[in-house]
């Protein structure tokens, strides 16, 4: 009974909280819509609605060199000749002698040309830093225990150490060792560990209140995938390049087809890594917002009370999606790491024998 009561209480709490925050989002816009794409995209501010909205520093490469501003508002109100492109597009005039508020946060020159490059600190970047510092902090604490001898000379103690140690050992043995082989895996284990924990934390942040998932941004996943790409190519053995450029055991005239496909394959692998992670993370988030949006859709169509009543269904459905996303956060971090290890393993492998199996694996990706 008490369990049911607690569940209902949480449901009501969650319902009211999310209603509040989405209502706040609504009142922010000009029209009465929830912009899901805006929720997913990168911002130049950290949104702690309804408590605060922290503008992030802007670094802009403009005609007059690289300019630093502590916030978008200060950039707009400086005399650097910058303008929020929203004002230009909608032909809204600034009010004289008053603080100019940013709207779209997209800054350009006064005549409407965009800046050369916008190197501003953005929310995805900040949350990626949070993931990085969290990883450093956690493992610095963990290493303190190892330095003290716990886990080094004795068994690991406590759930904190056990959880992270088992994850580390899992990545080392079941991902790095299994895919790269015992001769070279220790060289790549630190990279795989870093990537796994960074991606895992970035994925999980989206599930926290006010959190943002940097991995739902293709710019972030493209860098991660490129990192794996460069590590793979720079560590490729002679054998690997021979397989890419001129597959041994294949008739000469077939190479005309196979070599371009193999070279294409070099790029499709990181492309798949990038898109898989980004699409999974973005889709989960979009789904959660869409289901919350159903409450307002129902309220619009059938009245407020139907909307409120049906919210119980949507919120419990959302809880299920939330659990699924929690699982996906771990799964996608694992998949990215596993495929990175697989690609690296294929590149560093010294197969002196040109067995059939090696070719099959090679071509299936």
Contacts with another protein by CB under 8 A: the residue count is 60
Residue 194 vs 235, nearer CB to another protein: 194
Give the shortest CB-204-to-another protein separation in angstroms: 17
210-233 core/surface letters (b: 16 or more CB in 10 A; e: else): eebbbbbbeebbbebbebbbebbe
Q: Binding another protein by CB under 8 A: which of 33, 162, 166, 304?
A: 33
Q: In this structure, are residues 303 and 362 in contact, taking their beta carbons and an 8 Å threshold? A: no
Q: In this structure, are residues 274 and 217 in contact, taking their beta carbons and an 8 Å threshold? A: no
Q: Binding another protein by CB under 8 A: which of 26, 57, 100, 165?
A: 165
Is the Cα torsion angle 220, 224, 229, 234 positive or negative in sign? positive
Interface positions, 77-106, toward another protein (CB under 8 A)? 85-86, 89-90, 104, 106
CA-to-CA distance for 271 and 222, rounded, in angstroms?
A: 8
Query: Could you check whether the bond before residue 50 is cis, i.e. omega within 30 degrees of 0?
Result: yes
Q: Is 121 one of the binding residues for another protein (CB under 8 A)?
A: yes
Residue 176 vs 247, nearer CB to another protein: 176
Q: Binding another protein by CB under 8 A: which of 37, 256, 357, 360?
A: 37
Interface positions, 184-243, toward another protein (CB under 8 A)? 186, 189-191, 193-194, 197-198, 214, 217-220, 222-224, 226-227
Binding piece for another protein, criterion CB under 8 A, among 1-9, 17-25, 136-144, 351-359: 136-144
Q: Binding another protein by CB under 8 A: which of 18, 122, 213, 311?
A: 122
Residue 131 vs 338, nearer CB to another protein: 131
User: In the complex, which residues of this chain contact another protein (CB under 8 A)?
Assistant: 29, 31, 33, 35, 37-38, 40-42, 85-86, 89-90, 104, 106, 117-122, 124-125, 128-129, 132, 135-136, 139-140, 142-143, 146-147, 151-153, 165, 168-169, 172, 186, 189-191, 193-194, 197-198, 214, 217-220, 222-224, 226-227, 282
């Amino acid at each position: 009974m008490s369990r049911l009561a607690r569940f209902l209480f949480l449901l009501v709490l969650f319902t009211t909280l999310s209603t509040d925050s989405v209502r706040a989002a609504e009142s922010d816009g000009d029209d009465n819509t929830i912009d899901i794409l805006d929720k997913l995209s990168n911002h130049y501010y950290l949104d702690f609605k309804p408590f605060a909205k922290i503008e992030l520093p802007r670094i802009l490469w403009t005609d007059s060199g690289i300019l630093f501003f502590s916030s978008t508002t200060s950039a707009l109100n400086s005399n650097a000749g910058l303008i929020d492109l929203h004002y230009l597009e909608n032909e809204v005039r600034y009010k004289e002698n008053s603080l100019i508020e940013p709207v779209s946060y997209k800054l350009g020159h006064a005549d409407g040309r965009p800046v050369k490059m916008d190197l501003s600190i953005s929310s995805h970047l900040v949350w990626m830093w949070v993931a990085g510092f969290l990883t450093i902090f956690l493992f610095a604490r963990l290493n303190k225990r190892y330095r003290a001898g716990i886990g080094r000379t004795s068994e690991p103690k406590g759930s904190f150490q056990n959880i992270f140690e088992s994850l580390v050992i899992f990545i080392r043995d079941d991902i790095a060792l299994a895919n790269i082989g015992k001769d070279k895996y220790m060289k790549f284990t630190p990279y795989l560990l870093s990537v796994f924990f960074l991606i895992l934390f970035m994925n999980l942040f989206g599930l926290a209140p006010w959190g943002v998932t940097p991995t739902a941004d293709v710019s972030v996943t493209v860098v991660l995938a490129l990192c794996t790409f460069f590590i793979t190519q720079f560590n490729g053995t002679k054998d690997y390049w021979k397989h890419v450029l001129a597959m041994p055991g294949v008739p000469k005239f077939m190479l005309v087809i196979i070599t371009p496909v193999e070279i294409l394959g070099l790029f499709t692998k990181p492309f798949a890594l990038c898109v898989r992670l980004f699409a999974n993370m973005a889709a989960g988030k979009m789904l959660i917002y869409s289901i919350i949006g159903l409450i307002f859709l129902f309220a619009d169509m059938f009245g407020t009370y139907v909307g409120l009543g049906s919210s119980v269904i949507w919120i419990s459905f959302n809880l299920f999606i939330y659990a699924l996303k929690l699982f996906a956060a771990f799964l996608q971090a694992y998949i990215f790491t596993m495929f990175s290890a697989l690609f690296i393993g294929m590149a560093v492998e010294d197969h002196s024998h040109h067995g059939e199996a090696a070719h099959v694996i090679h071509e299936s990706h």
